[in-house]
Amino acid sequence: MTERVPEFALLVGVFLGLSAAVSGAVLTGELFRPILTGVVVCYPFAAFGVVRSDDPSEALPPRFVTALGTVLGVVTLLTALLERPGDVLSGLVASLVVALPPAAYATRFGADVNPLSPVQTFVVTTAVGARFSPLRHSSALSVPSSVCWLGSRARSTPTLVACVPPTASAVSVSLPGYSPASQSRGSPS
């Protein structure tokens, strides 16, 4: 009777998370917040079960967890877009909060769903991120990517510009309190 059963924590978490989500959906009439509440209630129990289990992949197959996390992330994003059409960013953040822990679990315990090498994955995700970056389409915050310097001769307030690949735009940040006269040619101290 003293045998550890960490998988029972997962069952408790799923039960409590589903109870919170269903109760919230019935009582409030929305889905976005109840889904997030259910996830916030369930994930700590699931994490406890994973950490305390000798081999969690026996009870939780990584591919199943990846699929479930993806479905929950998409459902969270869709409910956010339907209930809050003007607030896309909160839906994206919430769907990442919901989908990333299962993806991390699957990565840790060997789902092997990525056919690319780690370097190829990094390059592809960086290119996709640069392509869909909101700063890329904002002329107020971006400068040509060929420009990369610290300090500015044209302005009284120097600008720190991050170098990025030619497919994206650089991000500039003003440095208040910086005096160009105290620095030679805008070089950092």
Half-sphere exposure of 65 (CA within 13 A, CB side): 25
Instruction: Report if residue 150 sits inside a domain.
Output: yes
Last residue of a domain, one of 105, 125, 145: 125
The answer to whether residues 104 and 180 belong to one domain is no
pLDDT in tens, 120-153: 888 888 888 887 766 555 444 444 444 333 333 4
Question: Residue 170 has what pLDDT?
Answer: 45
pLDDT in tens, 65-94: 888 999 999 999 999 999 988 888 888 999
Question: Residue 128 has what pLDDT?
Answer: 83
The answer to whether residues 34 and 121 belong to one domain is yes
Give residue 78's Cα distance to chain centre.
16
Instruction: Report if residue 96 sits inside a domain.
Output: yes
Instruction: Report if residue 37 sits inside a domain.
Output: yes
The answer to whether residues 13 and 64 belong to one domain is yes
pLDDT of 178 above 60: no
The answer to whether residues 71 and 139 belong to one domain is no
Question: Residue 173 has what pLDDT?
Answer: 47
pLDDT bucket at 181, cuts 50 / 70 / 90 = low
The answer to whether residues 82 and 161 belong to one domain is no
Question: Residue 44 has what pLDDT?
Answer: 94
pLDDT in tens, 6-54: 888 989 999 999 999 999 999 999 999 999 999 999 999 999 988 988 8
Please state, rounded to an integer, the average pLDDT across all residues of the chain.
75
Please tell me the total count of domains within the chain. 2
Range of the domain at 142: 135-186
Instruction: Report if residue 2 sits inside a domain.
Output: no
pLDDT > 70 fraction of the chain, expressed in percent and rounded:
67
Question: Residue 176 has what pLDDT?
Answer: 53
Question: Residue 111 has what pLDDT?
Answer: 65
Question: Residue 58 has what pLDDT?
Answer: 85
Q: What is the pTM of this model?
A: 0.59
pLDDT of 158 above 50: no
- As to burial, measured by CB atoms within 10 angstroms (0-12 exposed, 13-18 middle, 19+ buried), residue 172 is middle
The answer to whether residues 67 and 141 belong to one domain is no
The answer to whether residues 104 and 30 belong to one domain is yes
The answer to whether residues 28 and 119 belong to one domain is yes
